[in-house]
Structure 1
Amino acid sequence: MSVRTFNPSVRIGNWNEDVFLDEGLLKDFLEKREKGELLLQKSSNFKKNVLQKAELSISKDGFLHIGDVVMLLNPENSEQSLSNPSPVHGNYTLSANPDESALHCKSHLTAQCGVSGSSNVKPCARNAFIITSVDGSEHGEPLHYGQNFALRIADGFMGHLYLTSDQKTFLKSSKKSHLQEVSLTDQPSYETCWQFVYLDPQMRMEHEGFPVPANTKLLIVHSKTNRCLAVLRKYILWTLFGKECEVTAHTYLNGHKAEENENHWNIVTGNPSDDINTMFDRPKPPNEEMNENKCVN
């Protein structure tokens, strides 16, 4: 028969130190919560700033201009999806992809960060870019095919970061595909220069120097390396915003020497209508829908 030596009210061991330790942890937790320094609070505030709604520029003449705020969207190719299935489908926007160190930034991003293809097609701080002049063109002037420009992330919490790329090396390349890396930097240079190129290679020379229409498919070419911006749907990145696609600078050509869907981009502008955010969301006229249905049948 066992004899009970202590009753439940008796404290044994270093109970006093344990009580003080628990009280210290609770006090530290309450102080951090009061100052908003908990990791959960930082993450919530960070996503609130990064996902803040952005207003895209409205093109009155149908063309792109220096200073326009646009969204870069890689559209899904339904035919390619059937012939070459990929892990993810849908439309993807070029978006800033900060790492966990950005959670500690209070006013704006200060460190260099990566980019990724996000399934969020609503204009927000992380996927809205400003077309910036690099050749002395004034604000509001039309942008032409073959003209150098820079893509700068929208003002505010995202800071003045430019889309940049450079030749891949043994120590510097994209994480998954190991191709030419694309990222954001705060130092403008020739590595931050890009060009819009006409989509059809047979008519490319004829359109050189012409104004670039908004909301139409085209190519975005890096001026220094002459490689096209691409979204790789088969390479998945786990980011602070979930599962997204890798973005690189690499030209994908088919058997006809034409760029494939990975390199196709729509430069999306704002919709003057009150109920729809972008021109990409705007429903097509009935005539265009009838023509598309005839082509399918």
Structure 2
Amino acid sequence: MAQNLYGPRVRIGNWNEDIYLEEELMKDFLEKRDKGTLLIQRNRRLKQNLLRPMQLSISEDGFVHFGDAVMLLNPSYPEREAELCLPGDLSLCMTPDEVRAHLSDELEVPCGLSAAPTRLPVGRNTFTILSADRDAIGQVLRYGQDFCLGITGGFENKMLYLSSDHRTLLRSSKKSWLQEVYLTDEVSQRSRWQAVFLDPQLRLEQEGFPIQANTKILIYHCHTNRALAVHRQLFLRTYFGKEAEVVAHTHLDSHKVEKPKNHWILVTGNPRSDMSTMLDLPKPPAEDTRAMEQAMGLD
């Protein structure tokens, strides 16, 4: 078929059909724009919700409580191959699929997770600590106690829960092929977690004690007994750029101690500023002990 080199205004060939086709396309565009279903409008709403600034809970007694809004942060640590790893503090983030996120105004289920180099509380990295058995809002979270982690992603009509399950041939992490971690809207045994004390020699003694906020802990999955981990050397191309993979796997060193990949901090809010965390507080200056050492004859 020969290509039509003329515009619709030149009345040659199917000029009338071309005019009606342009009018229908314009009507369809205006109708979608009025309903807010255009791709660019959905993209703008998705980013607006996921990147909406959030306020973390302020811990007055220094402990973590049920109902608190916190960030899960994997603190920075030196790596042998630092140039191949994602540096800095990484926060656990909701990561929806880039294609499916534009097809619906609601959060996809199941939804992916990743670790992003940010310390700002926004919709995609602010989690709520929930009780697994009963309503315990305001009570202190303790070591060895089951809890759930819920996130709304900046949306107000739906909450998703951090979950995991045994690795299978059909379900595993994208890069390392280990146990996958995801977000789902169902509360079950797969969405239960426990906080474990960092030092293995004091782990049994700390069982049942309150968990201090903004300190390093381990987070184990109750159903599979795997620890939440970040693979800084495995990158994911997400909707927001290059981020690290998150899995449920316990990485042990030669002394049978969990590696920094499994270390997490439940970050709370800064009472001095609504949009910052306790990690943003200036550290107190180190005490100068040189005068005391000289007096004791140690210098």
TM interval, short-chain normalised: 0.7 to 0.9
Query: What is the match of residue 92 of structure 1?
Result: 90
Q: Quote the Cα distance in structure 2 between the aligned partners of 1:202 and 1:278.
A: 30
- 8 Å contact 2:164–2:190 — kept in the other structure? yes
Unpaired runs of 5+ in structure 2? 1-8, 290-299
Q: Quote the Cα distance in structure 2 between the aligned partners of 1:32 and 1:138.
A: 45
What's the CA shift for 1:138? Answer: 1.9
Query: What is the match of residue 76 of structure 1?
Result: 76
TM-score of the superposed pair, with normalisation by structure 2: 0.86
- 8 Å contact 1:174–1:248 — kept in the other structure? yes
- 8 Å contact 2:55–2:274 — kept in the other structure? no
Query: What is the match of residue 137 of structure 2?
Result: 139
Q: 1:227 to 1:112 in 2, by over 3 A?
A: same
- 8 Å contact 1:276–1:282 — kept in the other structure? no
Q: Give the number of aligned pairs.
A: 280
Q: Quote the Cα distance in structure 1 between the aligned partners of 2:279 and 2:152.
A: 19
TM-score of the superposed pair, with normalisation by structure 1: 0.86
What amino acid sits opposite 2:68 in the alignment?
D
Query: What is the match of residue 59 of structure 1?
Result: 59
Stretch of structure 1 that moved more, 173-182 or 155-164? 155-164
Q: Quote the Cα distance in structure 2 between the aligned partners of 1:70 and 1:286.
A: 27
Q: Quote the Cα distance in structure 1 between the aligned partners of 2:44 and 2:137.
A: 35
Given candidates 149, 155, 158, the residue that maps to 1:157 is: 155
Unpaired runs of 5+ in structure 1? 1-8, 292-297
- 8 Å contact 1:69–1:154 — kept in the other structure? no
Query: What is the match of residue 167 of structure 1?
Result: 166
Query: What is the match of residue 176 of structure 1?
Result: 175
What amino acid sits opposite 1:125 in the alignment?
G
What's the CA shift for 1:85? Answer: 3.9
What's the CA shift for 1:17? Answer: 2.9
What is the SS of the residue equivalent to 1:183? strand
Query: What is the match of residue 229 of structure 2?
Result: 230
What is the SS of the residue equivalent to 1:66? coil
Q: Following superposition, which runs of at least 4 residues in structure 1 exceed 6 angstroms of deviation?
A: none
Query: What is the match of residue 4 of structure 1?
Result: none
Query: What is the match of residue 248 of structure 1?
Result: 247
What's the CA shift for 1:287? Answer: 2.5
Q: Quote the Cα distance in structure 1 between the aligned partners of 2:205 and 2:109.
A: 41
Q: Quote the Cα distance in structure 2 between the aligned partners of 1:284 and 1:112.
A: 40
What's the CA shift for 1:206? Answer: 1.9
- 8 Å contact 2:236–2:243 — kept in the other structure? yes
- 8 Å contact 2:94–2:153 — kept in the other structure? no
Q: 1:35-92, CA deviations, whole angstroms, 9 ceiling, x for partnerless residues?
A: 2221011100111012111111100011111111110011110x22x45542421211
- 8 Å contact 1:63–1:211 — kept in the other structure? yes
What's the CA shift for 1:282? Answer: 1.4
What's the CA shift for 1:166? Answer: 0.8
Does residue 130 (structure 1) correspond to residue 128 (structure 2)? The answer is yes
Q: Quote the Cα distance in structure 1 between the aligned partners of 2:109 and 2:172.
A: 18
Q: 1:282 to 1:36 in 2, by over 3 A?
A: same
